[in-house]
Structure 1
Amino acid sequence: MGKLICDSTASSPVIPWRDPTTTLSSLDSAATAAGDIVEKSTPLVPENITSWENVSGLEDQQKKHLTRLYNKGVLWKHPEDKSLSVVFKLSYGGEVEADGNCLFTAARRSMGGDVAATATARELRMRSVRRFVEDLAAADEETKGVIESAIRHMYAPDLKSGWGIHVVQEVKMLTNKQDREGLDSSINELVQIGMQRELAAESIYKERCIAVDDGPSWAKYMSISGCPDDEYDIITLRYTEEGLLTLDENRDGRAAAFGDDIAIECLATEFKREIFVVQAHGSDAMVDEENCVFFLPHRPRSEVCEPPFFLFMKGTGWCGAGADHYEPLIAIPSSLVSQEKVAVVL
Structure 2
Amino acid sequence: MGKLLCDSTTTVAETTFQTPTSPIVHWRDDPKVTVDNSEQTLTISEQTTWEDVIGLEDQQRRHLQRLQSKGVLWKHPKNDESYPVVVFKLSHGGDVSADGNCLFTASQRAMVASEMDARELRRRTARRFVEDFGSVSGEEREAINNAIKHMYSPDLKNGWGIHVVQEVKLLAKKEDRVALDSAIDELVLLGMQREMAAESIYKERCMAVNDGPSWAKYMSISGSHDDEYDIITLQYTEEGLLYIDENRKGHAAAFGDDIAIECLATEFKREIYVVQAHGSDGMVDEENCVFFLPHRPRSEICEPPFFLFMKGTGWCGAGADHYEPLIAHPSSHLSQEKVAVVLGGH
Using structure 1 for the length normalisation, give the TM-score: 0.86
Is 1:132 aligned with 2:117?
Answer: no
Q: 1:287: how far off?
A: 1.7
**Mean CA deviation greater in 314-323 or 78-87:** 314-323
> How do 1:1-346 and structure 2 match up within 5 A?
29=10, 31=12, 34-37=15-18, 40=25, 46-83=44-81, 84-112=84-112, 116-315=113-312, 323-336=320-333, 340-346=337-343
Unaligned 5+ residue runs, structure 1?
1-26
Q: Relative to structure 1, is the Cα distance of residues 212 and 297 closer, same or farther in structure 2, using a 3 angstrom cutoff? A: same
Q: 1:41: how far off?
A: 6.4
More helix by share: 1
Write the deviation string for residues 181-221 of structure 1: whole angstroms up to 9, x where unpaired. Answer: 11111101110011000000000000000000000000000
Write the deviation string for residues 241-299 of structure 1: whole angstroms up to 9, x where unpaired. Answer: 00000000001212434221101000100000000010011123222222110000000
**Mean CA deviation greater in 39-48 or 281-290:** 39-48
Unaligned 5+ residue runs, structure 2?
1-7, 28-32, 35-42
**Mean CA deviation greater in 314-323 or 93-102:** 314-323
Higher relative contact order (CA 8 A, sep 6+): 1
For the 8 Å contact 2:278–2:318, the answer to whether it is kept is no
Counterpart of 2:179 in structure 1: which amino acid? Answer: G
Instruction: Quote the sequence identity (%).
Output: 71
For the 8 Å contact 2:94–2:325, the answer to whether it is kept is yes
For the 8 Å contact 1:72–1:341, the answer to whether it is kept is yes
Aligned residues: 317
Matched residues in 1 for 2:318 and 2:175: separation?
29
Task: Describe the SS at the equivalent of 1:302.
Answer: coil
Q: Relative to structure 1, is the Cα distance of residues 36 and 152 closer, same or farther in structure 2, using a 3 angstrom cutoff? A: closer
For the 8 Å contact 2:100–2:222, the answer to whether it is kept is yes
Q: 1:36: how far off?
A: 4.1
For the 8 Å contact 2:310–2:319, the answer to whether it is kept is no
User: Once superposed, what is the RMSD of the aligned Cα atoms?
Assistant: 2.3
Using structure 2 for the length normalisation, give the TM-score: 0.86
Task: Describe the SS at the equivalent of 1:259.
Answer: coil
For the 8 Å contact 2:274–2:294, the answer to whether it is kept is yes
Q: Relative to structure 1, is the Cα distance of residues 176 and 80 closer, same or farther in structure 2, using a 3 angstrom cutoff? A: same
Counterpart of 1:93 in structure 2: which amino acid? Answer: G
